[in-house]
């Protein structure tokens, strides 16, 4: 083993050791910190899986439209199926931490904006985190851009209030939120309280007249109808449009004849297994996501709490907790809200009063990042990805060029806006929701597909332009 | 650093996407493969691990052959022969 590779392996141990030390020391200080550690280690697992499987939601439809590669569409559907399967058990046994979100056309519009952003940024929200762990400076810029955009967008009012329809304003005020939140001021506040909250929260189980927390509702409604059927339809469409042609070509080359339906089923299965790394990562990711819900709910029952805000209160650290005593504590994998929170905390420390809005002041709070379980989940995700990259000798510090920095900031900006409008990102608004039967998940996903299409069109134009410039003197 | 295209010798071209993230390496590779002739070789250099999967899958799907793969310390060099 050469010296560089050996040093990388030592760093992998150091990073793992650091997180282990955090867990051990905090638990030794107070039992409640196991709640933070649970989030941390699931984040670590997610980071390792994402890096190993090159798992990025952005590449799913981007690479399909841009270069005809279905690898990540398959990977995401695999992960979604496994997550949905595990969470169906978790839900049916009453241990789910999931709550569906209000959905409607706004989910699709938000997904569209987010989808454009993730193509520009070169990665989705979770993808940018794991790529930061690979040493990628562009990805770090994306994370910073998403964080700052969200945090600012959550509290922006003034001139932006003029862009709010009067019906939203009236509806927001009628919700009678605490005066300190001032729901009638601020674009996002009026969007949430005056528009989004008026939409229904639906799961496939509910639409079919079944109870979510029943085996029939969870498995037939949410898993079969909500996930398996649409996933199979999507994968069949992908096979027919993007894979069938090459399979026919290979079949004729091998056997001298075109494939029949049975052979096409083999071709379809070959598409599913075409990337072993992605399939393995999807499987572990999906199972881990389901298990996290079970573990967090178990800890809530153990400690007799419904939200980490109560735990922070018991630890005597309730700075930044919302007016209702809550902090962001989804109980499952999430990415963007905690990114907004740490920047919100920094901005608050610098003098910005940003606790007078719904996002921070009423729902999520801005606790100290060092005590925020969700922030530790993201930090450990970066760490887990770094460990995986170091162990496989793929870690490399990469400084962004000016061109890539512009793409990163722009992409992060669109992703930040899209995630607040959609109440989450590729993970929170799509992956988690779809896997738990929330109809809004597919609506956001449709938007992401549209956004990827638009983003790729733009990228093709841009790269064609660059090639023409850079290849000016080259003879082909 | 901009993306670099060069002609190494007759029928052999280089594409350097070092420093570029998704989707630049795979899009530039695809476009370059479209421009060169059948039988020509394209040597692609990149340092974005996730692009390695996309480029490999793209070549497999389009019938182009990766005749040599080199991956070390986060740097990848793929030699692709345009077969289709």
Coil/strand/helix, residue A302: helix
Contacts of A139 in chain B (CB under 8 A): 21
3-state secondary structure A134-193: CCEHHHHHHHHHHHHHHHHHCCCCHHHHHHCCHHHHHHHHHCCCCCCCCCCCCHHHHHHH
Separation CA A210–CA A206 (nearest Å): 5
Coil/strand/helix, residue B48: coil
Chain B residue closest to A62 (CA)? B23
Mean pLDDT of A220-241: 95
Q: How big is chain A by its Cα radius of gyration, in Å?
A: 23
Contacts of B15 in chain A (CB under 8 A): none
Separation CA A162–CA A104 (nearest Å): 23
What pLDDT shows up at residue A251?
Answer: 87
Contact at CB, B73 and A404, closer than 8 angstroms: no
Task: Tally C-beta pairs within 8 A across A and B.
Answer: 127
Question: For A398, which of B28, B47, B54 is closest by C-beta distance?
Answer: B47
Coil/strand/helix, residue A195: coil
Residues A301-319 have pLDDT tens digits of 999 999 999 999 999 998 9
8 Å CB contact between A64 and A70: yes
Separation CA A199–CA A100 (nearest Å): 11
Coil/strand/helix, residue B79: strand
Residues A5-17 have pLDDT tens digits of 889 999 999 999 9
Chain B residue closest to A121 (CA)? B22
To test the contact with chain B by mutation, choose from A241, A388, A458, A471 the residue with the greatest count of B C-beta atoms within 10 A, namely A471
Question: For A470, which of B3, B26, B52 is closest by C-beta distance?
Answer: B3
B residues 39..58 contacting A (CB < 8 A):
47-50, 52-54, 57-58
Chain A residue closest to B6 (CA)? A474
Residues A329-370 have pLDDT tens digits of 999 999 999 999 999 999 999 999 999 999 999 999 999 999
Contact at CB, A66 and B23, closer than 8 angstroms: yes
Is the pLDDT at A273 greater than 90? The verdict is no
Interface confidence, given as ipTM, is 0.89
Kindly provide the residue ranges of all beta strands, DSSP E only, lying in A197-280, ordered along the sequence.
Answer: none
Report residue A1's pLDDT band, with 50, 70 and 90 as the boundaries: low
Mean pLDDT of A141-161: 96
Mean pLDDT across chain A: 94
8 Å CB contact between A471 and A132: no
Report residue A219's pLDDT band, with 50, 70 and 90 as the boundaries: very high
- The tokens 């639906």 sit on which residue? A202
Contact at CB, B30 and A67, closer than 8 angstroms: yes
Separation CA A208–CA A215 (nearest Å): 14
What pLDDT shows up at residue A338?
Answer: 97
Contact at CB, A59 and B61, closer than 8 angstroms: no
8 Å CB contact between A342 and A369: yes
Contacts of A58 in chain B (CB under 8 A): 22
Nearest alpha carbon to residue A470 among B1, B60, B65, B47 = B1
Instruction: Give the percent of chain A with pLDDT over 70.
Output: 99
Contacts of B69 in chain A (CB under 8 A): none
Contact at CB, A471 and B5, closer than 8 angstroms: yes
Separation CA A331–CA A311 (nearest Å): 14
Question: For A396, which of B32, B58, B73 is closest by C-beta distance?
Answer: B73
8 Å CB contact between A108 and A443: yes
What pLDDT shows up at residue A211?
Answer: 92
Contacts of A239 in chain B (CB under 8 A): none
Is the pLDDT at B84 greater than 70? The verdict is no
Contact at CB, B22 and A463, closer than 8 angstroms: no
Contact at CB, B58 and A59, closer than 8 angstroms: no
Mean pLDDT of A373-394: 96
Report residue A171's pLDDT band, with 50, 70 and 90 as the boundaries: very high
Coil/strand/helix, residue A43: helix
- The tokens 């959905």 sit on which residue? A103
Asked whether the bond before A196 is cis by omega within 30 degrees of 0, the reply is no
In angstroms, the separation between the Cα of residue B67 and the nearest Cα of chain A is 19
Is the pLDDT at B52 greater than 80? The verdict is yes
What pLDDT shows up at residue A260?
Answer: 87
Mean pLDDT of A125-147: 97
What pLDDT shows up at residue B1?
Answer: 66
Contacts of B83 in chain A (CB under 8 A): none
3-state secondary structure B15-34: EECCCCCCCHHHHHHHHHHH
Separation CA A142–CA A113 (nearest Å): 15
What pLDDT shows up at residue A274?
Answer: 85
Chain A interface includes B5 (CB < 8 A): yes
To test the contact with chain B by mutation, choose from A119, A394, A462 the residue with the greatest count of B C-beta atoms within 10 A, namely A394
Question: For A63, which of B2, B54, B74 is closest by C-beta distance?
Answer: B54
DSSP A33: G
Instruction: Give the percent of chain A with pLDDT over 90.
Output: 85
Question: For B3, which of A51, A136, A466 is closest by C-beta distance?
Answer: A466
Contacts of A134 in chain B (CB under 8 A): 49, 74
Is the pLDDT at A99 greater than 80? The verdict is yes
């Amino acid at each position: 083993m050469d010296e560089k590779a050996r040093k990388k392996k030592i760093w992998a141990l150091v990073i793992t050791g650091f997180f282990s030390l955090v867990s051990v020391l905090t638990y030794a200080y107070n039992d409640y910190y196991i709640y933070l550690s649970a989030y941390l280690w699931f984040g670590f697992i997610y980071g390792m899986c994402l890096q190993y499987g090159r798992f990025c939601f952005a590449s799913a439809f981007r690479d399909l439209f841009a270069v005809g590669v279905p690898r990540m569409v398959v990977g995401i559907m695999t992960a979604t199926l496994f997550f949905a399967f595990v969470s169906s058990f978790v839900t049916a046994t009453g241990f789910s931490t999931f709550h569906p979100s209000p959905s409607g056309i706004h989910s699709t519009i938000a997904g569209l904006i987010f989808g454009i952003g993730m193509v520009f940024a070169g990665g989705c929200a979770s993808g940018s985190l794991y790529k930061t762990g690979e040493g990628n400076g562009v990805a770090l810029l994306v994370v910073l851009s998403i964080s700052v955009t969200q945090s600012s967008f959550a509290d922006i009012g003034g001139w932006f209030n003029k862009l709010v329809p009067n019906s939203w304003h009236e509806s927001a005020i009628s919700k009678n939120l605490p005066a300190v939140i001032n729901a009638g001021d601020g674009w996002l506040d009026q969007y949430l309280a005056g528009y989004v909250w008026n939409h229904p929260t639906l799961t496939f189980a509910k639409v079919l007249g079944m109870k979510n927390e029943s085996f029939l509702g969870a498995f037939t409604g949410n898993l079969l109808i909500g996930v398996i059927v649409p996933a199979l339809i999507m994968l069949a469409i992908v096979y027919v449009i993007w894979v069938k042609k090459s399979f026919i070509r290979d079949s004729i080359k091998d056997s001298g004849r075109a494939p029949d339906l049975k052979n096409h089923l083999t071709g379809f299965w070959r598409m599913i297994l075409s990337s072993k790394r992605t399939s393995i990562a999807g499987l572990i990711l999906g199972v881990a996501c389901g298990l996290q819900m079970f573990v967090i709910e178990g800890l809530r029952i153990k400690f007799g709490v419904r939200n980490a805000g109560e735990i922070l209160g018991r630890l005597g650290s309730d700075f930044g907790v919302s007016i209702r005593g809550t902090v962001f504590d989804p109980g499952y994998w999430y990415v963007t809200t905690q990114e907004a929170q740490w920047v919100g905390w920094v901005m608050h420390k610098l003098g910005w009063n940003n606790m007078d809005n719904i996002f921070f002041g009423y729902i999520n709070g801005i606790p100290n990042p060092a005590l925020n379980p969700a922030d530790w989940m993201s930090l450990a995700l970066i760490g887990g990805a770094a460990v995986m990259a170091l162990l496989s000798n793929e870690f490399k510090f990469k400084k962004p060029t000016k061109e890539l920095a512009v793409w990163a900031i722009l992409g992060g900006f669109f992703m930040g806006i899209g995630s607040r409008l959609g109440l989450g990102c590729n993970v929170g608004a799509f992956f988690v929701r779809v896997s738990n039967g929330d109809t809004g998940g597919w609506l956001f996903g449709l938007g992401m597909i549209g956004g990827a299409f638009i983003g790729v069109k733009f990228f093709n134009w841009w790269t064609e332009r660059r090639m023409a410039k850079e290849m000016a003197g080259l003879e082909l | 650093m901009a993306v670099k295209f060069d002609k190494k010798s007759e029928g052999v071209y280089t594409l350097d996407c070092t420093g570029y993230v998704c989707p630049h390496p795979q899009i530039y590779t695809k476009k370059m493969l479209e421009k060169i002739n059948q039988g020509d070789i394209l040597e692609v250099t990149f340092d974005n691990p996730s692009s390695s999967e996309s480029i490999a899958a793209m070549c497999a799907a389009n019938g182009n052959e990766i005749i040599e793969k080199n991956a070390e310390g986060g740097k990848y060099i793929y030699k692709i022969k345009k077969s289709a």
